[in-house]
Structure formats: structure tokens, C-alpha cells
Structure 1
Amino acid sequence: MPDQEQHQVFVGIDTHADTHHVAVITDYGKPVKDHEFSTTSSGYREIVEFITGHGEIGGVGVEGTGTYGAELTKVLLQAGMPVIEVNRPNRQQRRMHGKSDPLDAYQAARSVLAGTSTAVPKAKDGPVECLRVLRAGRASAMKSRTATINQIRDLLVSAADELRAKYRGMPTAPMIAMMARSRPSGHLADPNYVTARVLRTLASRYQDLTTEIDDATESLREILDSYAPLLCDLPGVGTDVASQLLVTVGDNKQRINNEAQFAAPAGVAPVPASSGKSTRHRLSGGGDRHANSALHHIVLVRMGSDSRTKDYVDKRTAEGKSKREIMRCLKRYVAREVYRQITNPVPAPMITDLRLQRRELGITLQQVAEHLHQWPSYLSRLERGRTRNDSLTVRYRSWLGEQASAVGQIERHQLSRCAGTP
């Protein structure tokens, strides 16, 4: 190709554990060359040389940028190449055209050329990647701890009554502590001794896993406090939910340009679901299921404790919407709010002065609750920063201001009467 240098080339890479297959095509889709490389440092350098040796790079499509292609993606980005994340070809295309590493690599290159693949890969080089790794270890520990306590309870079901009587009716925490402190004695031919011995081992494992989970949670909290301290100010957003939503976004926030693009990977983007005379929408079933679960958790918490959300649920229920439809709408609203807080953090309103003002005025929580039509316990959590409700905080502060003004008028009136008395 004598004029090859004058045209852009597009690259597709099919990634695997031990090898990567690279294919190059022209800007009008003609195959140029493909080759297989090893997944080593020298192999990555050879891939860069191979790609740059065929002309100006229009785009590099990489399969599995978060798994097998993670390290190669970093190398290509450091080399200044435009990297695009490519999904594997669908099953229909594979049945029609077959499957092999070269075919998959060429298909990846064509998807970049056609513009069907546009996703920017996650950078994986900052605090969010630390959150992802910590969450992976924490999830594994939580799963193992659940399996451990289930195994303990299963053993107790079939254990001798003498052993079961020791732990009958006990909550999990004291039962585990008591098992871990136990010192069974006997011989290996005695089923009761062996059961007690295994229970002690399982209890110690449960305690170790609990410590591991607590350490991971504390590490997550420390990273969130320094990287996104205001995200947890949103109602219903805790350490676990906030870390998951940040992992979905990634370290390079610019890969998601608006809240609609955030809703898509979170699985809450509305898509048409009309048929015949029926015109309706549903939420996308794609995206990150863990992010969708995090949004679902926020909605559940707000439906139980947030007055603004409760009012919305009552309104939509009166319109004839089902609970499932209402939760779909709430997920979309929550996704919009979360995205804005991630990209443009807004601190929660100051609440530390509310309790002080109320006590200075000699007003009880019950009196405030009667005027604002809220539960005293909810107002107490609001005063202590345990929950966030911006609209209620504004109403609360405004009402306290009115009471302070009224008290001031009474005091001035009494002073004027005293001054006029001979």
C-alpha cells in the first residue's frame, strides 16, 4: 500500500490471559495485518511498535479493559493512543462468521471504525481503583462469614442436646464469643468433642472475618473522607453505597459527560417499551448491577425515612402508580442527584446550630414535631447529623427564627412597660 501513511488506521485487540491478538485495518475497513503478542512488558512494547508502524492511529479498540486488557490499556494510554472499550461480538455474529482470535480482533477494530463502540475505559490509577480492590476483598470476606455462620447453625441442629443447650436462644455475637472461648476436651472418637472443636474453629474464623470486614470498611471510609467527603451527605448514602457508585464512575470522571450517561451504566436509563396501543417506558436492564443495587438501597431508605420521598410516593400512589413503577421513577431521580453530587459536590446545610437554638428558646422536640408534623426521633437524628433533609432543615430553621422573633418582641414589650412604670 504505497499511500498507507496518508490514511488513518484502526486497531482491534482481543485480550487473553497469556496472549493478545492485535489486528489493524484501514479507515475504509480493509484488513492490513494481525499478529499475536505475549502479555509481558516486552510484549506490550512490541504491540505499541506494531500499532504505530502502520500509520496514524484513529482509535484502538480493546476487549476487557478492566480484566485481561487492564495493563495493556494503561500502556496504550501512556503512549498517547485513543483507547476505546469494546464489548465482545454478539452470539449471532459469532454463529454467522465463526470465532477465532484474529476474527475477534478485526471485529473490535471495525466496531471502533463504525462508531458502535465509544466507551472510554476506566483509568484504574487513582483512589477509586483502591475502593474497587477493597470492596472486592470485603465482599469475599462477607460471603465467607455468611457461609461460616450458616455452617455453625447447621452443626448445632444435629449436635447433641448437651451441646445445643449451651447456645440455645443466644444472639449471634455472644454465641460466637462463647464458642471461641470454649476449650472442649475429649478424644477424636467422640462425636460431641469433635463437634465442639469444629464449632470453636468456625467461631474463631467468624471473628477473624469480622475483623477483616471492619478493617476494609474503615479503609473505605478513610478514602471517601479524602476523595468524596460530601457524597455521604446525601440521604440514604453510606460508605458501601458511595464506594460502589464511585467505582461505577471510575477515576476519570470525564468518561461520563452527563447524568444521562451515568444513568445508563447504573441500569436506570429509560428505554421505550411500547407495543401496539401501549405507550410506555421501562428502565434499562443493562449496566452495572451493583450500581443499580446501590440506587435501590438509597430508594428503600428514603421511602422509609425521607419526608420528601414519602410525599412523592403518596402523590404517585394517588395517581394509580404501583410501588414498582414509583421505585423506578425514584431510581432515576436519585441517579441524577448522585451524579450532580459526584461532579459538583454541594455540602449539606449546617445543622449543628439547630439543637442549640432550640434549647436556648426552651422548646422541646415534641413541640417542634407538632408544628413541623414530624416524628421527634426523626428530628433528633436531623439535629445530630444522622440524616439529611435539606427542605426540612430550612423549615426547621425558619420556624426557630420565627419563635426567636416572637420571644424578642415579648421581651421588648415587657421592657417598654417596665420603663413606662413610675
Structure 2
Amino acid sequence: MSVMIGIDPHKLLHAACAIDRSEEELGQLQVRSGPRQLSELLSWATRFEQRTWAIESAGGLGYLLAQQLLGHGETVLDVPPTLSARVRVLGSGRSNKNDANDARAVAIAALRSRSVAAVRAEDHVSVLRLLAKAQLDASRARSRACSRLHALVRELVPGGIRKEIVAGQALQVLDAIETVNATQRQRLELARETLEEIELLDVRMKRSKQRITEAVKASGTTLIDVYGIGPIIAATIIGYTGDITRFPTSGHYAAYNGTAPIEFSSSGRTVHRLSRRGNRTLNHAIHMIAVTQIRHLDSEGRAYFDRKVAEGRTKREAMRSLKRQISDRVHKHLVADARNK
């Protein structure tokens, strides 16, 4: 008998519920998160010979458990939280919000949905995602530190630092400041500490970029052949896309990264609007590619952008069209890379 085991993962415990093909409940279990979580779940599930595991947010709280199950040869599905929540809300008689019902909703969602993806073992895609996220986190931390430094210096020097912060130039500005009271001395001390933080982040980002460059080169991807894609953007796209084969067409991929417009239709009137859905990290990466192409007059992207503007589109609409074209081309390269492995 084929059995679907749904798991609602949490930081402190995991709730499991097993159902058959007719959605009849076969058993429930709660295990504490810890070294014994895997052995307890497998021991409980031994009575279900033909079993499939469905974990809500297998890329989030359920990531480690999903990878542990994969390591023991189990089949694991990743259920989006929105899908399991929809099952719970629409289900009759079991709509209460608790761990047992959540686990059952996860199992039903995996059993009935055709779009649930199988979890993959960690590979070079996981490495690139880790590196890309680390680079993104460092970049954001540097931006926050630069904003703090701008604010501090502006209260010490009229106009503050007028340009983008470069560590060497910022140090010269701070050295030239003469304080006249305790408040200014404290503010200057904080500015120097913030500058030291920026310098450390610069070193960290430089080291991170070197690792990303090596990892992208080792992956053998052809994404870097696209105008405007460097190692960091390539790592971001590969890492946050995951398994490209889960997208049947380039249109599905465009919907996932938010470059496909959303249709709003009513009373025979059809309007397509900007999509705010999808993976925003991927959308930002594609946006940066489009900006780079538009800035260079000799690129194909700039020629496409100019052609759309000449057809009567606004610059914003032309940018959206260009981003969709880039998304399609990225999808084509990722599919080719997957076939050549």
C-alpha cells in the first residue's frame, strides 16, 4: 500500500501524519528536533513499506530533516506552505490550526498536487546558493554601515561625504575633522568604528567574490556567455533557481522569477500588469542584467530596448519586456547546462 507521510517541521519538534491514497489517516507522531529525530521517524515508518515523505518548506525549517531522509534513500517532496495552508482552510472538519492537522494537510497537498517538486540532495547548486547568499548579506551589511557613516559624518562636516564611500577617502575626511566638545568626539569615534566595519566587509566581499568565481567556473555553466552576467549574478541565478527541469517552459520560469505580467480581466477588458510575485532575488538579478545591457549601446539588450521605445512603449514597459527576454534566454542556457551534465 502506498503511503504519504506529511511532516510539519518546527524548531523544537516535528509533527508527522501518514495517510493512504484515499486520505485515510494511518498514524501520527511527534518527535523532538535533535540527534534522534531521524531514527525515531524511520523506526515509526518501517510499517509503511511503500512510503513517500512530504515536508512543508523543505528548503527552510525542514531542510536538514529532508536532507537526512534523502541520505537514507527515502523519497522526499517539498510542499510550499501556501499549498498546505489552502488544504487546511478548505478541508471540512479539520480546519483547526494545530501541528497534527498541519502535517495531515501537508500530506494531502503532496498527494493531490501535480506541482510538488522532489527534494534534491545537496550539490553544486547548493554551494552556489550559499555563496550567493553570503555575498548578498555582506553587500547589504555594507550598505547599512555606509548609511550609518554618512549620517555620522553629516553631523560633523557640512555636507558630509558627498560621494560613494571609499575606505581610503573616508579615512582622510575623518582625519581632517577637529572636534570641539565631548559629543563630537564620541560621534567621531563611532564614525571610525563604522569605517573599520566597512573595511572588514570589503575584505569579506573580495574573498567571497573569489570563491564565487571559482565555483561558477567549476560548474561549467554557459550563463556567463549572456551579456551582463558575471560570476555573482550567475551564482545567484543558478543557486536560487535550483532544478531547472521543474519548469516545463520558459513561461513557467518567468512566472517564478516575476518577469511574466499578471492578467487582470473584467467585462471583456484585458489588462496586463507588473507582477510583484515570484522570487524577488531572481527578479533583482535579472533586473541588474537588464540595466547593464541598457547602459551599453553595443549590446543586444540595448537594441531591443530602443526598438520597443520606438514602437511606442514607455521606457518602463520596454524594461519589463527586456527582462522577460532575458528570463527566456537564461532559461534556455540553464536547460542546455542541465542536458550537458
Query: Does the alignment pair 1:76 with 2:73?
Result: no
Structure 1 Cα separation of the partners of residues 275 and 249 of structure 2: 17
* One-letter amino acid of the structure 2 residue matched with residue 39 of structure 1: S
Provide the secondary structure at the position in 2 that maps to 1:149: helix
Query: 2:333 aligns to what?
Result: 341
CA distance change for structure 1 residues 276 and 319 in 2, over 3 Å: closer, same or farther?
Answer: farther
Match of 1:276 among 253, 267, 270: 267
Match of 1:325 among 298, 317, 323: 317
**1:390-418, Cα deviation, whole Å (9 max, x unpaired):** xxxxxxxxxxxxxxxxxxxxxxxxxxxxx
Give the conservation status (yes or no) of the 8 Å contact 1:37–1:46.
yes
Please list every run of 5 or more consecutive structure 2 residues that lacks an aligned counterpart in the other structure.
Answer: none
Query: 1:35 aligns to what?
Result: 29
Match of 2:42 among 44, 48, 52: 48
Structure 1 Cα separation of the partners of residues 316 and 190 of structure 2: 45
Please list every run of 5 or more consecutive structure 1 residues that lacks an aligned counterpart in the other structure.
Answer: 1-6, 346-422
Give, in angstroms, the shift of residue 144 of structure 1.
2.4
Superposed, which structure 2 residues align to 1:263-302 within 5 Å? 263-269=254-260, 271-282=262-273, 284-302=275-293
Give the conservation status (yes or no) of the 8 Å contact 2:227–2:289.
yes
CA distance change for structure 1 residues 178 and 105 in 2, over 3 Å: closer, same or farther?
Answer: same
CA distance change for structure 1 residues 71 and 204 in 2, over 3 Å: closer, same or farther?
Answer: same
Query: 2:18 aligns to what?
Result: 24
Structure 1 Cα separation of the partners of residues 162 and 323 of structure 2: 40
CA distance change for structure 1 residues 114 and 186 in 2, over 3 Å: closer, same or farther?
Answer: closer
* One-letter amino acid of the structure 2 residue matched with residue 287 of structure 1: G
CA distance change for structure 1 residues 319 and 178 in 2, over 3 Å: closer, same or farther?
Answer: closer
Structure 1 Cα separation of the partners of residues 111 and 222 of structure 2: 40
TM-score (norm 2): 0.84
Aligned length: 331
Give, in angstroms, the shift of residue 240 of structure 1.
2.5
Query: 1:111 aligns to what?
Result: 109
Provide the secondary structure at the position in 1 that maps to 2:270: coil
Superposed, which structure 2 residues align to 1:200-219 within 5 Å? 200-219=192-211
Q: More deviation in 60-69 or 308-317?
A: 308-317
**1:367-387, Cα deviation, whole Å (9 max, x unpaired):** xxxxxxxxxxxxxxxxxxxxx
Query: 1:66 aligns to what?
Result: 59
Give the conservation status (yes or no) of the 8 Å contact 1:120–1:255.
no
* One-letter amino acid of the structure 2 residue matched with residue 247 of structure 1: G
Give the conservation status (yes or no) of the 8 Å contact 1:248–1:266.
no
CA RMSD of aligned residues (A): 3.1
Give, in angstroms, the shift of residue 18 of structure 1.
1.7
Query: 1:151 aligns to what?
Result: 148
CA distance change for structure 1 residues 317 and 247 in 2, over 3 Å: closer, same or farther?
Answer: same
Superposed, which structure 2 residues align to 1:179-218 within 5 Å? 182=175, 190-218=182-210
Task: Answer 1 or 2: higher relative contact order, Cα 8 Å, separation at least 6.
Answer: 2
Give the conservation status (yes or no) of the 8 Å contact 1:14–1:62.
yes
Give, in angstroms, the shift of residue 275 of structure 1.
2.2
Q: More deviation in 114-123 or 65-74?
A: 114-123
Give the conservation status (yes or no) of the 8 Å contact 1:66–1:122.
no
Give, in angstroms, the shift of residue 267 of structure 1.
2.0
* One-letter amino acid of the structure 2 residue matched with residue 21 of structure 1: A
Structure 2 Cα separation of the partners of residues 325 and 275 of structure 1: 22
Query: Does the alignment pair 1:233 with 2:218?
Result: no
Provide the secondary structure at the position in 2 that maps to 1:46: helix
Give the conservation status (yes or no) of the 8 Å contact 2:227–2:299.
no
Q: More deviation in 283-292 or 332-341?
A: 283-292
TM-score (norm 1): 0.69
Query: 1:11 aligns to what?
Result: 5
Give the conservation status (yes or no) of the 8 Å contact 1:179–1:199.
no
**1:340-397, Cα deviation, whole Å (9 max, x unpaired):** 222325xxxxxxxxxxxxxxxxxxxxxxxxxxxxxxxxxxxxxxxxxxxxxxxxxxxx
Give, in angstroms, the shift of residue 100 of structure 1.
0.5
CA distance change for structure 1 residues 36 and 183 in 2, over 3 Å: closer, same or farther?
Answer: farther
**What percent identity do the matched residue pairs reach?**
24
Q: More deviation in 195-204 or 306-315?
A: 306-315
Mark the structure with the bigger radius of gyration. 1
CA distance change for structure 1 residues 301 and 63 in 2, over 3 Å: closer, same or farther?
Answer: same
